[in-house]
Amino acid sequence: VNLFWALDRMDGALASASASDGRALLERLLYEARSIDEEDRAMCRAIGRHGAGLVRPGQGILTHCNAGGLATAEYGTALAVAFAAHELGTPLRVFADETRPLLQGARLTAWELQRRGIPVTLICDNMAAQVMKEGKIQLVVVGADRIASNGDTANKIGTYGVALLAKAHSIPFYVAAPSSTFDLSIADGSAIPIEQRDPREITHGFGRQTAPDGIDVYNPAFDVTPAELIAGIITEKGIIQPVNRGTIKQVFGMK
């Protein structure tokens, strides 16, 4: 959602430009893009600042997919919480789900954390329950693609399962996302259509065929985690907690 929000804003900048020559228009767009980048950095830092308060020394934080600086500007959303806590000197370890089929957790999240010197352990998605059972996880923080007005949250496939596993182990499950991720026009998660992706992502994911020819594949891009499984939503404005229609309306100043 917030990618389209940014594109709309660039569109608006272009429409409102008084200049007519190409170079001036380009300058205007560049100015707008840089503003978005700066605001995004500030926003991610604010999310990190709010979220860092949730992390106690020595805790393990599980995350799924990638919601770091590669997906936003510099600091990320879910990873901002770990980045900020780390900068404050809080010792912690992040467990990164590899996140099949495209392995954003292995390829991006693990890399970003390693690069910043934050202890990170890579696991396969199906190991999350065991890692929780062993007491290695005290907090789950994930990003969001889109959040409905009641708090139901669409995010990378597997997020909903992680939320259920967290609940089973009494581990708080948080979503970290800028307020531009809220889609207040939709009542709840049931209004979010779930895109199906290319079966070859699963059967031919890494330059090698790993399933029989002609096999039927189900490859939903994301899932929806119901608001009642979410302990709080960490935004740049603060943490929305508990997550429900009322608390969300309040944050957005709606009646």
- Supply the residues annotated as catalytic: 145
- Rounded to whole angstroms, the Cα distance separating 173 from 165 reads 10
Instruction: State which of residues 78, 103, 147, 240 lies at the interface with a copy of itself (CB under 8 A).
Output: 103
Q: Does 141 bind a copy of itself (CB under 8 A)?
A: no
Beta bridge partners of 155: 223
Instruction: State which of residues 15, 89, 193, 218 lies at the interface with a copy of itself (CB under 8 A).
Output: 218
- Identify residues 46-65 at the interface with a copy of itself (CB under 8 A): 64
Instruction: State which of residues 130, 190, 196, 250 lies at the interface with a copy of itself (CB under 8 A).
Output: 130
Q: Report strand pairing: 92-97 vs 146-148.
A: unpaired
Q: Does 99 bind a copy of itself (CB under 8 A)?
A: yes
- Rounded to whole angstroms, the Cα distance separating 109 from 32 reads 28
Structure tokens at 120: 């990170």
Q: Does 219 bind a copy of itself (CB under 8 A)?
A: yes
Instruction: State which of residues 67, 78, 79, 106 lies at the interface with a copy of itself (CB under 8 A).
Output: 106
- Rounded to whole angstroms, the Cα distance separating 27 from 14 reads 10
Peptide bond into 242 cis (omega under 30): yes
Q: Does 40 bind a copy of itself (CB under 8 A)?
A: no
How is residue 187 annotated by DSSP? S
- Rounded to whole angstroms, the Cα distance separating 66 from 245 reads 27
Chain residues binding a copy of itself by CB under 8 A are: 64, 95, 97-101, 103, 106-107, 110-111, 114, 119-131, 133, 157-158, 160-162, 164-165, 167-168, 194, 202-203, 205-208, 210-212, 214-220, 223
